[in-house]
Amino acid sequence: MFHREGHKIILAALVILIVLALSSHFFLEDEILKKVLMSVFIILFLLIIQFFRNPNRDIQTSENQILSPVDGKVVVIEEVFDKEYFNDKRLQVSVFMSPINVHVTRYPVGGEIVYSKYHPGKFLVAWHPKSSEENERTTVVVKNKIFGEVLHKQIAGALAKRIVNYAEVGVKVSQGSDSGFIKFGSRVDVLLPLDAKINVKLNQKVKGGITIIASKNES
């Protein structure tokens, strides 16, 4: 299953690669070179379709848990001061996505969208400390019954040249449903209340809509 953001790109890539393959077959005489080029074309196409894959997942929703919005590796767990929306301190969990990860962004919690904004910006490497504030990004805040307002931020990286954001203010969304898509590698920040209990560790691999990154602290 492929994400809708990749349908046109996959089709265009298939047409282009078929044309190149046929051209090399008819116009090149070196059989070894033909085989090498054919292998390259197949590998390129496989890389493109794996990037846009959108596997079906058995998402277990829970009001008392916050799910990872994306696949990748946890690169930041720290307390930060948010200047854009909350204007106070929050717990930040950041997940870095490589080009081989599934790039669907999912809502970490269910509730009503109260904020959605696109910010043009730079394309610093996604793990750069200033990428959260200076890179091209989209910020979405969902108001949840248990956790209050939870912010997640799609951040472009050095290879990401387009961020797709589906969030619209006033719309109610389900936990784990599609929030957006980042093309070609980046990261997502999640800003949580200070009393949230973090359930992941640095460098831990997580899956979007599956891994529980935080839960309600009962103490």
- The residue ranges of DSSP E strands in the chain, in sequence order, are 65-67, 72-82, 88-97, 104-106, 111-119, 137-144, 148-156, 162-165, 172-173, 178-183, 186-192, 196-198, 205-206, 212-216
Question: Looking at the domain assignment, is residue 148 inside a domain?
Answer: yes
Both tokens assigned to 12: 């265009």
The pLDDT tens digits for 139-151 are 999 999 999 999 9
Catalytic hit among 24, 116, 179, 186: 186
Domain shared by 184 and 114, yes or no: yes
Enclosing domain of residue 22: 4-51
Question: Looking at the domain assignment, is residue 58 inside a domain?
Answer: no
Q: What is the mean pLDDT of each run of 10 residues along the chain (219 residues)?
A: 69 86 82 86 81 81 93 94 95 90 89 93 58 76 96 78 84 92 80 95 96 83
Task: Specify the pLDDT at position 49.
Answer: 74
pTM of the full structure: 0.78
Question: Looking at the domain assignment, is residue 96 inside a domain?
Answer: yes
Q: Which amino acid is at 45?
A: F
Task: Specify the pLDDT at position 83.
Answer: 92
Question: Looking at the domain assignment, is residue 216 inside a domain?
Answer: no
Instruction: Judge residue 189's burial from the number of C-beta atoms within 10 Å of its C-beta, 0-12 exposed, 13-18 middle, 19 or more buried.
Output: buried
Question: Looking at the domain assignment, is residue 218 inside a domain?
Answer: no
Task: Specify the pLDDT at position 139.
Answer: 95
Number of domains in the chain: 2
Question: Looking at the domain assignment, is residue 56 inside a domain?
Answer: no
Coil, strand, or helix at residue 97?
Answer: strand
Domain shared by 9 and 97, yes or no: no
* DSSP H/E element including 131: helix 131-134
| Residue indicated by tokens 């301190």 | 89
Question: Looking at the domain assignment, is residue 57 inside a domain?
Answer: no
> Is 186 assigned a catalytic role?
yes
CATH number for the domain harbouring residue 97: 2.70.70
